[in-house]
Amino acid sequence: MIEPGGTKTAGYNARLADYFAELIAEFLSLPQPEVRARIEWELQEPGGLVGEAWRTADPRSPDEITRFYKTTDTYLFDLACDHCSSRRALVWNPALRRVERRGPRQNVLLYGDGIGTDSISIAGRGHRATYFGLPGRTSDFARFRFGRERLEDRITVITEPAEIPNASFDVVVCIEVLEHVSDPPSTMRGLYRALKSGGIALITESFASVGAAYPSHLPGNLKYAGRSHQMMEAFGFASTYYNADPINRPMEFTKKDPNLAGDLVRFKGRLRRALHTRWRHLTHWTNPS
């Protein structure tokens, strides 16, 4: 297993790029130089392969969108390149710290984990990992990777939302998924159901990033931009961690029971977030960049 941290070139880990080129070539039965060339192109034009495939398929309905995610192989390249990027550590490292501060042997659901990188990391650190991803090329590649890493007995794979057990997980990690789904509120409710009382959801989202540069970010989800905290709180979560470097990555929400004690924690979270937002605004206007 290769973790981020090898030689970095132009902001990405070249050793990881070679590692993914070898894996993808074997999985797709393609010549490795051809795969490496596609990775290099994706590194130069992040999201370019997915964008081109999305525009060609032009999915409109929820069923068409689901079919696209199940059949495309472009996310293998897109996610491999994203996981080679040095900037991804800015998201993953704080999330991992929030998991491990809870103690060893956490039961973690990696919701929408794509090619399985985060599931491999979690399982490799001694936690119990459950990978969730739609059936298709991307989740097949994740299974392939789990086999190569000899982690099949340490990572549970789920490919249908209805199969995610209720009240079973200590932690749910959901990184850059919500902007892609047709019904984000329903997904948020599902995360609440999956967690034990006191469990945490670690979330990042890009609802505000829509347009030609982000064709698979659904424009209909733009209405949720800036509302994740309020939505999660409405479903019973309390905001318990707010990382501002980079801003909002990740957000942590704790599942609280619908009682007075839970209401108090939710109020504290809203107050802390309001004070933090006010402080950021004052800092920005006092020391504009």
Residue with tokens 């590649």: 141
**Residue 197 burial by CB count (10 A; 0-12/13-18/19+): exposed, middle or buried?**
exposed
Is the CB of residue 210 less than 8 Å from the CB of residue 180? Answer: no
Helix, strand, or coil here: 237? strand
DSSP 8-67: EETTEEHHHHHHHHHHHHHHHT--HHHHHHHHHHHHHSTTHHHHHHHHHH---SHHHHHH
Helix, strand, or coil here: 132? strand
For the chain, which domains are there?
8-84 (no CATH), 87-286 (3.40.50.150)
Q: Tell me, what's the pLDDT at 8?
A: 40
pLDDT in tens, the chain (289 residues): 544 433 344 588 889 999 999 999 999 999 999 999 999 999 988 889 999 999 999 998 999 999 999 999 999 999 999 999 988 988 999 999 999 999 999 999 999 999 999 999 999 999 999 999 999 999 999 999 999 999 999 999 999 999 999 999 999 999 999 999 999 999 999 999 999 999 999 999 999 999 888 889 999 999 999 899 999 999 999 999 877 677 778 999 999 887 767 667 766 767 776 666 565 556 555 555 5
Q: Tell me, what's the pLDDT at 87?
A: 87
Q: Tell me, what's the pLDDT at 204?
A: 95
Q: CB 286: neighbour CB atoms within 10 A?
A: 7
Helix, strand, or coil here: 145? helix
Q: Tell me, what's the pLDDT at 40?
A: 92
Alpha-carbon distance 12 to 4, whole Å?
A: 9
Instruction: For the chain, give the mean pLDDT.
Output: 89
Q: Tell me, what's the pLDDT at 151?
A: 96
Is the CB of residue 249 less than 8 Å from the CB of residue 243? Answer: yes
